[in-house]
């Protein structure tokens, strides 16, 4: 089913100022959007703006005699094919989780059978509060899809998890599963794609570890895009704070060794392996079973050993899948990447210049240079989802060319 009738609920958080942009992007996808504001939302964004961008009256009152003359809330609940609430405040989240019907939005949600996506946004402390976490778990268990929240600087000046996902990323998550484009659907059909994503954690003792800044967003965007394009996708993820992409098999791991074992088990059956994980290069030789005490630990030394080179091991299999690596470099990115491509016998390598703050680690945009033995492709700056679509196109072309040569 293709959902075109979207109900957008906006609640009382500072991120409500991004909602008009979300309406605009939804409409760009061909969606018919009706907006419902909670009482709190009206303090952050005006009904007039939303009426202008959506092209329809905006609703917010439950006990509105004019609207209710035709049982307006039930009509609207029946009309909606998809409900997205962005931003979702902690207060409305609590109301939804506990089945309250004390405003128009929560009443509509109870009266509708449409699938619900929620995009929480709040202060990081509010997000981490056990009450909020319990409420979000209730919604998830009931089948709601949670988008975000993202990590970063907040309006209140704090830094942490709680930012509303960017409107373009919300749309990317809402539409792949509903409106796969015809030519994209055919694109990766029948292919089994294995993707690794996120960082790994190498234990020092039971409470400390070595890790890196990878957020997993690139690998997750690739997994979502590949599934949308028709591939059968397995995603092996290190510890990240991201919702599982729709239609993707997800396997969670912690350390480089666990990732190695999980990847090697799956690689035999994969047509394509995309190694987007930032696997730790070193692990502590012997992690301690007890917490190292601070007292007397001056001059403490850790013995590090190299972790398995997962990508090189996959590429060295007797029948390797088509292997795509990622290189995060801070200097001479292309030269280092080319060396990696040749030494590890890869088919493609995508290069990230992580010395740039605007792309790469833990942000929603990226820019890639993709190298094969004989070609160089450039994918200009865009959201990680759009970058993924382009990268998968390149992978598909090079995969077909390699198979043609092999079979000729």
Ligand X SMILES: Cc1cc2nc3c(=O)[nH]c(=O)nc-3n(C[C@H](O)[C@H](O)[C@H](O)COP(=O)(O)O)c2cc1C
Give one DSSP letter per residue of 120-158, joined into a string.
E---HHHHHSHHHHHHHHHHHHTTPEE--PEEEE-TTS-
Q: Say which of 109, 156, 323, 398 is annotated catalytic.
A: 156
Question: Of these, 18, 34, 73, 92, which contacts ligand X (CB under 6 A)?
Answer: 92
Of 37-45, 252-260, 297-305, 333-341, which segment contacts ligand X by CB under 6 A? Answer: 37-45
> Whole-number minimum distance, CB 62 to ligand X, in Å?
12
Nearer to ligand X, 132 or 173 (CB): 132
Residue 26 CA to residue 53 CA, distance in Å, equals 11
- Asked if 13 touches ligand X (CB under 6 A), the answer is yes
For residue 284, the SS3 value is strand
| Residue with smallest beta-carbon separation from ligand X | 40
DSSP code at position 187: H
Cβ closer to ligand X: 39 or 179? 39
Peptide bond preceding 149 in cis form (omega within 30 of 0): yes
* 19 is an interface residue for ligand X by CB under 6 A: no
Q: Does 223 bind ligand X (CB under 6 A)?
A: no
Q: Which residue from 38, 112, 352, 382 is in contact with ligand X, where contact means CB under 6 A?
A: 38
The question of whether 109 is a catalytic residue gets the answer: no
| Cβ atoms of 337 and 351 closer than 8 Å | yes
Rule CB under 6 A: say whether 40 interacts with ligand X. Answer: yes
96 scored as a contact of ligand X (CB under 6 A): no
Peptide bond preceding 294: is omega within 30 degrees of 0, i.e. cis?
A: no
Sheet strands (E) in 169-262? 192-197, 202-203, 209-210, 232-237, 249-252
What is the C-alpha to C-alpha distance for residues 64 and 186, in angstroms, rounded to an integer?
48
The smaller minimum CB distance to ligand X, of residues 42 and 313, is found at: 42
For tokens 């790994």, the residue is 200
Min separation Cβ 132 and ligand X, Å: 8
130, exposed or middle or buried, with CB in 10 Å at 0-12, 13-18, 19+? exposed
From the number of C-beta atoms within 10 Å of its C-beta (0-12, 13-18, 19+), residue 93 rates as buried
The nearest distance, CB 101 to ligand X, in angstroms, is 13
Q: Does 12 bind ligand X (CB under 6 A)?
A: yes
- When the beta carbons of 91 and 212 are compared against ligand X, the nearer one is 91
91 binds ligand X (CB under 6 A): yes
Q: Kindly state the smallest distance separating residue 46's Cβ from ligand X, in Å.
A: 15
Q: Rule CB under 6 A: is residue 122 a binding residue for ligand X? A: yes
Task: Determine, following the binding rule CB under 6 A, whether residue 121 of this chain makes contact with ligand X.
Answer: yes
Residue 122 · residue 133 · CB < 8 Å: no
Binder of ligand X out of 60, 89, 234, 386 (CB under 6 A): 89
Nearest-approach distance from CB 64 to ligand X, in angstroms: 16
For residues 48 and 56, give the distance between their C-alpha atoms in angstroms, rounded to a whole number: 10
Binding site for ligand X (CB under 6 A): 11-15, 38-41, 89-92, 121-122, 126
Residues serving a catalytic function are 156
């Amino acid at each position: 089913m293709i959902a075109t009738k979207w109900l957008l609920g906006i609640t009382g958080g500072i991120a409500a100022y991004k909602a008009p942009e979300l309406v605009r992007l939804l409409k760009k996808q061909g969606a018919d959007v009706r907006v419902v504001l909670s009482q709190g939302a009206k303090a952050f964004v005006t009904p007039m703006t939303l009426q202008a961008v959506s092209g329809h009256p905006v609703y917010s009152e439950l006990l509105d005699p004019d609207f209710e003359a035709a049982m307006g809330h039930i009509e609207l609940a029946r009309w909606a094919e998809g409900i997205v609430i962005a931003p979702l405040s902690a207060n409305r989240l609590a109301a939804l989780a506990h089945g309250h019907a004390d405003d128009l939005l929560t009443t509509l949600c109870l009266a509708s059978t449409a699938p619900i996506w929620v995009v929480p946004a709040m202060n990081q402390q509010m997000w981490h509060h056990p009450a909020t976490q319990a409420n979000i778990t209730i919604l998830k268990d009931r089948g709601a899809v949670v988008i975000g929240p993202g990590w970063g600087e907040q309006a209140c000046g704090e830094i942490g998890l709680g930012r509303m996902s960017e409107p373009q990323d919300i749309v990317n998550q809402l539409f792949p599963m509903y409106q796969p484009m015809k030519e994209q659907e055919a694109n990766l059909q029948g292919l089994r794609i294995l993707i690794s994503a996120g960082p790994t954690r190498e234990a020092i003792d039971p409470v400390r570890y070595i890790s890196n800044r990878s957020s997993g967003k690139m690998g997750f965007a690739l997994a979502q895009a590949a599934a949308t394009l028709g591939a059968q996708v397995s995603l092996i993820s290190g510890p990240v704070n991201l919702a599982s992409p729709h239609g993707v098999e997800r396997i969670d791991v912690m350390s480089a060794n666990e990732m190695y074992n999980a990847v090697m088990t799956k690689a035999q059956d994969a047509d394509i392996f995309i190694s987007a994980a930032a696997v730790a290069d070193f692990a502590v030789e012997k992690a301690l079973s007890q917490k190292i005490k601070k007292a007397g630990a001056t001059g403490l030394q850790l013995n590090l050993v190299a972790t398995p080179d997962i990508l090189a091991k996959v590429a060295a299999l007797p029948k390797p899948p088509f292997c795509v690596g990622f290189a995060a470099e801070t200097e001479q990115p292309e030269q280092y990447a080319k060396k990696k491509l040749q030494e590890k016998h890869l088919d493609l390598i995508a290069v990230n210049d992580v010395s740039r703050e605007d792309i790469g680690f833990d942000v929603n945009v990226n820019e890639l240079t993709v190298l094969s033995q004989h070609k160089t492709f450039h994918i200009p700056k865009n959201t990680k989802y759009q970058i993924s679509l382009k990268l998968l196109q390149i992978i598909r072309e090079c995969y077909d060319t390699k198979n043609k040569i092999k079979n000729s």
